[in-house]
Structure 1
Amino acid sequence: MSFALSSVIRSQMFGQRTIRPLGTAALGGIAFINDTLIGVDTIKGHLLQIDPLTDNTKIINSHQVRDFHGTTGLALWGDVLWITRNYSVYLCNLHSLALEHFVTLPYRAHGIAVWESTIYVSCQKLGYILIFDQSTRREITRFFAPGVGIENLAIAQEKLWVCDDLEQSVYCLDKATGEIQFSVLTPFDSPSGIAVHTHNITGEETLYVSYASEEPYIRDNPNSNPNHELTYRDRTFIHPLYYNYDSEKHYALSNGYLVEMSYVEEISPLDDIYLPELEWRIAIPSETNRQKIRSIEPIGLPFTEEIADGQRVAVFRFDCLNPGEQHIFGWKALIEVRGVKYRVSPRDVENIPSLPSELQQRYLVDDDDLAMDTLVVKNAARESVGTETNILRKIYSIRNYVYDKLSYGIKPHINTPDIVLDRGVGSCGEYVGVLLALCRLNGIACRTVGRYKCPVEGDKKGIPLQPDFNHVWLEFYIPTLGWLPMESNPDDLVDSGPNPTRFFMGLAWFHIEIGKGIPFEVLTRKGERLAKEDVSIGELAINHIRFTILEELPPFTVDY
């Protein structure tokens, strides 16, 4: 078996392509030998040699497959291969593949990384990354695991890279201290392995992450009637992970896409209606540190633009909307959108100034049926924070309190937080309502953000995609730092905890921010908002939302 250096041309061809090894079920650990990938198929026990440019795949351990069944972590140092399997760590010569036992943990070992004679091993059950000395086989020290899921490891220079399948994140740790420097969200779910590729000319390092999960698909079964049936298949691949960390602004950006989004209303009233001098206002996607608008254009009818509280709004004007009259109108936007993850610690917000009075007057009040004066909500606000005074710990405690009290369920109407807390089940909008009420009663300014998420199909470019539902989340305000995002319910995954924090101060690339702190869509006449009791948009029109992923954005060659 030979792993010769690749040519200059092959090295220069490394780019944004997704690597899909042939015949592979579930990739675990991965590592590079020059420009060649080594990976392990956890289910089949195959140790694989993978060409990143062609997906050509070769089984290295043809005669030792049984020895590698269940292997999750993989690392290389020189000619020595290290693996984790079940509770134990093994090593072997890459050419002979005769496994030698190194150490056994009290619980399952998952990821592994090696730097000279230092061995790093992750264990989800322990909640630690254990560090061993190769010569003594004894534990030197241990680091707290940065996430709550199954973690795999890679190491390069002074950085220990950790990918977490449940957190959908990659963490950058100091390999000497275990201190988290920053983290980034991965563009796909279920990251299962991580490796660092070093360009053999420039020395530039690129992260590659493997992913392993199942995906649903419609199977054409000729022996069934009807012949189409829902089933699942393995989904595994490798993709480069790009990032840009801004330490002064406390956030890191990661992979993103150029997305075309269309929002269209089709006037099709349930009953005949007469509306003179109607203004139909629809918010336009926002400009943020992770989201840029390349262009916006009307669909069906022209609109004018207005600014409402710093947000762009498209205004469609009708001299008179008569019974039986029908229109299609809206906007189409080209949006650059990336993942963002903030890294802020409670220590960073210990001595912050008071909340400005204008924000207190607007974002600490009950302005959206939040039931903040009810006993149920007031008691929940007190219980959720206890004696905590640090603003970041308070908002984190409130989030966990709501996650403990509620389970997710789609509802036809949004009820007030007191009803939702009594019921114990809420939609994303109801989660937001409860979070808003508890935060505001605890002196934390917060506001609603949404409105849609692009279907999470980053590898399906050029295909029109339609979201199943609208979606809302929120932002909370910390003086000196500004507005920080927090998802409503998607992190509420575990009944007894701990829950992931992937979307606590973070948004994935598929979140489309529209209308921060303002209504997404309203009807007005002469500047006055029409009451929902008089006319309901849902009874007046049908909305059509479509996304098309055009291309993946290049690495960070521009300043965001």
Structure 2
Amino acid sequence: MKGFLPGIVSAFSVIMLLSCFFPQTACAYTGQVSEELKAPCLYATGLTWDGKHLWVCDWKEACAFEVDPSTGELISSVELPCLRPQDIAYANGFLFVCSGYEPFIYKLELASRTVVETFPTPESTPSALGWDGEYLWLADSGTDMIYKLNPVDGTTINYFKAPAVQTEGLASDGHYLWAADRVRDELYMLDPDDGTVIMVVKSPGEYPTGLVFDGKWLWNVDFEDDVLYRLNYDDGESVYVTDDNDRQVTFVHELTNMGPGTVTEAGVFLAVPEDSFPGQCLLEPIVFEPEPTRFDADEWGQKIAVYEFEDLRPGETRAVNYVAKARIGMRRFCIFPHKVGELKNIPSSIMKRYVVDGSRYRISEPLIEKTARQIVGDEKNPYWMARRICQWVQDHVEYEMVGGWDIAETLIKRGTGSCSEYSFLYIALCRAAGLPARFEGSVVVRGDDACIDDVFHRWCEVYLPGYGWIPVDPSGGDRPLPADQAKSFGMLVNRFLITTRGGGDSKYLGWNYNYNYKFSYIGKVNVVADAFALWEPLEENE
């Protein structure tokens, strides 16, 4: 049998590599470009839809051009009634027009080419217009706010903070509001009630401006490229992976007995990275040095490399490590909240496993139960339950690495915590509200491609019926801008090699992730444990 072992390993490596070469981006996903048309002008800043054709606004020429969306053919044009028009919105035979130079909205009747109404904007620097079938939407670049307006006289119905720093396109898809940010080069899907960012999509060009939905496709015009991009809206793909890169990680654990006594027995337990994590693919089998005493799995199904040592004398160090070569991509979920199922749709096996209590959660404590009820209120949609809890944690906790990992209740009282404590609190509140939740742990790229990580990172996953397990990073998303907060929900960047997935206390890892260790001794000892990850980029020829 020994003679066949190299062939078996080689075949296994080939299978792993082949699985990595079938990218999850092969299917259509929200924001993916499906068609490109040349814009009819050189300074396109606005875009709208009249039910049959696109209209493109030219900033320099102060004109709007009617375009056939199937061919890009120019059909007609109309002169606009203001200097430097920023955006346009079509509604029932009229074009609403705004300019960044004038604090007014103009209502232009297309049939007669006549301005029939003019009313002031809420602020002085309007930057985008949209129409949802009943109301106008206006973004202002000076205040970074988005306003819902009465189309009759421009009075404000509602307003909220814009997702980022420079909104230059607005559109409604019938359920949600979309915004284009030309500084971040991103498109955002928003809750029209309060501006919560639900989805973040990379814009197809480097200067996204006008945005519109035609009933099937999302359209975006780019000022720099002079291109009309037709984008997929919802083709049923809930997750996709982009921006992958190949890296090597050497994870090292050292256990040193400083004496004066003897460590009679010691165990070191390393969480083993696997291919089962979306966006992560092992390019070849992990190499352990030395070979583990054995492999096992904990009660959460986490694979563990178990090392057992005896007689660690004063001054001795036992070091173990593994080398993993992996392709790591950015994972994004395309979640439409109205399509998320009900709590009753969650499999009973998941509810039984991930809505239970734990010593760091203590979900039956009155403070946890009361807080969960106050946060969730009468909300029944699992997506909005999970988002409300995440927002509450970010609003009430500040990031601070102090001491050990305290229980969820202590974090509520103290108001500060590390990434692990954010995770414990989020999971506790989710489970108290009836939402299944668990955690993942990783080693992290710290800035440069070649770097050292000795801090690591932990975040959560919440189960949404119809979508499955969704990454949620309460501490990573604790930032002021709505767009940055949204990137912590349903998105995972390509800086993490995931090693650990768990739901609570583990017989090997305890409440740790990445690794753990235990020892027994005679006399007095001072045992020092050190763990770190060394990152290196893999060359293409590797």
Measured against the shorter chain, the TM-score band is 0.5 to 0.7
Secondary structure at 2:286 match in 1? strand
- Of 294, 317, 339, the residue aligned with 2:307 is 317
Q: Equivalents in 2 of 1:522, 1:477: separation in Å? A: 25
d(CA) in 2 for partners of 1:120 and 1:192? 24
Alignment of 1:77-92 (within 5 A): 77=58, 80=61, 91=84
Contact map agreement 1:262 1:547 (CA 8 A) in 2: yes
The structural deviation recorded for 1:474 is 0.3
Equivalent in 372, 378, 381 of residue 390 of structure 1: 381
Whether contact under 8 Å (2:361, 2:425) holds in the other structure is: yes
In structure 2, how many angstroms separate the alpha carbons of the residues matched to 1:513 and 1:440? Answer: 23
Distance 1:143 1:251 in 2: 32
Answer yes or no: is the 8 Å Cα contact 1:185–1:502 preserved in 2: no
Check the 8 A contact 2:129/2:138 in 1, yes or no.
yes
Identity of aligned residues (%): 17
Please, what is the CA RMSD of the aligned residues?
Answer: 5.3
* Aligned residue in 2 for 1:515: 500
Q: Which amino acid aligns with 2:436?
A: A
Residues 470-506 of structure 1 deviation map (CA, whole Å, 9 limit, x = unaligned): 21110011233211111021222249x8983221122
User: Do the aligned partners of 1:514 and 1:520 also contact (CA within 8 Å) in 2?
Assistant: no
The counterpart of 2:488, out of the listed 497, 503, 522, is 503
State the 1:319 CA deviation: 5.0
| DSSP-derived class of the 1:255 partner | strand
Q: Deviations over 1:287-313 (max 9, x none)?
A: 333222212432542246555578663
Per-residue CA shift, 1:341-377, capped at 9, x if unaligned? 3232332125453443332332112224223233222
Partners of 1:396 and 1:100 lie apart in 2 by 34
| CA distance 1:279–1:378, change in 2 (3 Å) | same
**Number of equivalent positions:** 409
| Structure 2 residues without counterparts, runs of 5 or longer | 1-36, 45-55, 64-81, 86-98, 105-120, 131-135, 211-218
TM-score with structure 1 length normalisation? Answer: 0.58
Return the alpha-carbon distance in structure 1 between the equivalents of residues 61 and 158 of structure 2. Answer: 24
CA change 1:126–1:280 in 2 (3 A) is closer
Among 291, 295, 309, which residue is 2:280 paired with? 291
Asked whether 1:472 is paired with 2:458, we answer: yes
Aligned to 1:436: 427
Choose the corresponding residue for 1:340, options 310, 313, 331. 331
Q: 1:406 to 1:514 in 2, by over 3 A?
A: same
What SS class does the counterpart of residue 400 from structure 1 fall into?
A: helix
1:37-116 counterparts in 2 under 5 A? 77=58, 80=61, 91=84, 101=101, 103=103, 105-107=121-123, 109=125
Post-superposition offset of 1:161: 6.9
Within-5 A mapping of 1:132-171: 148-153=163-168, 162-163=180-181, 169-171=186-188
CA deviation after TM superposition for structure 1 residue 314, in Å: 5.0
* 1:25-40 correspondence to structure 2 within 5 Å: none
- List aligned pairs for 1:504-543, cutoff 5 A: 504-517=489-502, 522=508, 539-543=527-531
| Residue 548 (structure 1) aligns with | 536
Q: Distance in 2 between matches of 1:193 and 1:413?
A: 46
Separation (CA, whole Å) in 2 of partners of 1:100 and 1:402: 37
Residue of structure 2 in register with 1:420 after alignment? 411
User: Does structure 2 conserve the Cα–Cα contact (< 8 Å) formed by 1:282 and 1:522?
Assistant: no
| 2: CA distance, partners of 1:379 / 1:435 | 14
- Provide the C-alpha distance between the structure 2 equivalents of 1:260 and 1:300, rounded to a whole number of angstroms: 15
Indicate if the aligned counterparts of 2:102 and 2:124 stay in contact, CA closer than 8 A. no
Q: Can you list the C-alpha shifts for 1:442-473, whole angstroms capped at 9, x where unaligned? A: 11110011223322x4xx5xx52123622111
What is aligned with 2:13?
none
Alpha carbons 1:253, 1:340 under 8 Å: kept? yes
Corresponding residue of 2:146: 128
Larger radius of gyration: 2
Residues 380 and 367 (structure 1), Cα distance of their counterparts in 2 relative to 1, 3 Å cut: same
Q: Post-superposition shift, 1:410?
A: 1.3
- 3-state SS of paired residue (1:344): coil
Larger RCO (CA within 8 A; separation ≥ 6): 2
CA contact (8 A) 2:139 2:162 kept: no
- The letter of the residue matching 1:123 is D
Question: Take 1:245 and 1:539, find their aligned partners in 2: how far apart are those partners?
Answer: 56
1:239-254 matched pairs, under 5 angstroms: 247-254=235-242
Q: Compared with structure 1, are the counterparts of its residues 345 and 277 closer, same or farther at alpha carbon in structure 2 (3 Å cutoff)?
A: same
Q: Which amino acid aligns with 2:531?
A: N
Judge conservation of contact 2:389–2:426 (CA < 8 Å) in 1: yes
The one-letter code matched in structure 1 to 2:305 is V
Q: Is the 8 A contact 2:440 2:461 kept in 1?
A: yes
> What is the alpha-carbon distance in structure 1 between the residues aligned to residue 248 and residue 144 of structure 2?
44
TM-score scaled by structure 2? 0.59
**What letter corresponds to residue 504 of structure 1 in structure 2?**
F
Corresponding residue number in structure 1 for 2:7 = none
CA–CA distance in 2 between the matches of 1:452 and 1:209? 40
1:273 to partner: Cα distance: 4.4
The yes-or-no answer on 1:404 pairing with 2:395 is yes
* 1:380 Cα deviation from its structure 2 partner: 1.4
- In structure 2, relative to structure 1, the CA distance for the partners of 1:126 and 1:493 (3 Å cut) is closer
Q: Structure 1: how far apart are the matches of 2:246 and 2:126?
A: 35
For 1:319 and 1:498, the matched residues in 2 are separated by: 49
Unaligned runs of 5+ in 1: 1-31, 40-74, 83-88, 93-98, 197-204, 211-240, 553-560
1-structure distance, mates of 2:496, 2:232: 19
